[in-house]
Amino acid sequence: MGEMIVIYYICRLIQIGTTMNEFIQTISAPWPWYVAGTLIGLTVPTLLIIGNKTFGISSNLRHICAACFPANISFFKYDWKKESWNLFFIVGVILGAFIATHYLTNPELIKINPVLQEELTKQGITDFKNLLPKDLFSVEALFTVRGFILMVIGGFLVGFGTRYANGCTSGHSIMGLSNLQWPSLVATICFMIGGFIMTNFIMPYILQLK
């Protein structure tokens, strides 16, 4: 009887292990846009239902500055503690990204258009293992002209732009549009126009820099 029980639990462990491996493989593979997009969209009603909270990411930078470096700046003089839940949210995003990067990485190369891949290869970009190619985004690339422009100057412009527009793509394009806010529609249109201009007219020149 005892041997049968041991065999039963061994079989159960094997079954659980197989199921877990299948689960890991499933969540590690690329998700269809309609699945990932739906899950992101459901964040909005979830936050509204749970605590009447609005979805946004870039505002956390303001909360952190208000908590750590308030100085004598009116922009940072507000009750940031009421928005502290958003800090926990962003910590979860960072933690999730860490887990996905270190434990759920898809070993396959990023699938991009062959024409685009050929154009990028001509510009010296040969790493297609990650969403952010190390040829452009790495410690070594930071000390190049194009790396400095993309990471330092680009990062500053993104941070400045999100605060100037009072929101980022999360706050405007996801939360704002779902609430039918016309400023969010204007902001999203500007996001898209800026992306098209950057991709087609500015980025090719930056990639030629060394």
For the stretch 108-160, pLDDT in tens is 777 788 888 888 888 888 888 877 888 888 898 899 999 999 999 999 998 88
Q: What is the CA radius of gyration of the chain?
A: 22
Of 16 and 121, the one with more pLDDT: 121
How much is the mean pLDDT over the chain?
A: 81
Say if residues 146 and 206 touch (Cβ distance below 8 Å): yes
* DSSP state for residue 172 in the 8-state scheme: I
Give the dihedral sign, CA 120/126/132/136. negative
Residue labelled with tokens 């159960």:
12
Highest mean pLDDT, choosing among 68-72, 77-81, 89-93: 89-93
Of 198 and 47, the one with more pLDDT: 198
Mean pLDDT to the nearest integer, 67-72: 78
Say if residues 196 and 136 touch (Cβ distance below 8 Å): no
172: number of CA atoms within 13 Å, CB side?
21
Structure confidence at residue 8 (pLDDT): 47
Structure confidence at residue 194 (pLDDT): 92
Highest mean pLDDT, choosing among 41-55, 143-157, 168-182: 143-157
pLDDT in tens, 184-207: 999 999 999 999 999 889 988 898
Structure confidence at residue 152 (pLDDT): 94
- Confidence band, pLDDT 50/70/90 cuts, at residue 19: low
Structure confidence at residue 122 (pLDDT): 84
pTM of the model: 0.73
Mean pLDDT to the nearest integer, 160-175: 87
Of 104 and 15, the one with more pLDDT: 104
Structure confidence at residue 6 (pLDDT): 46
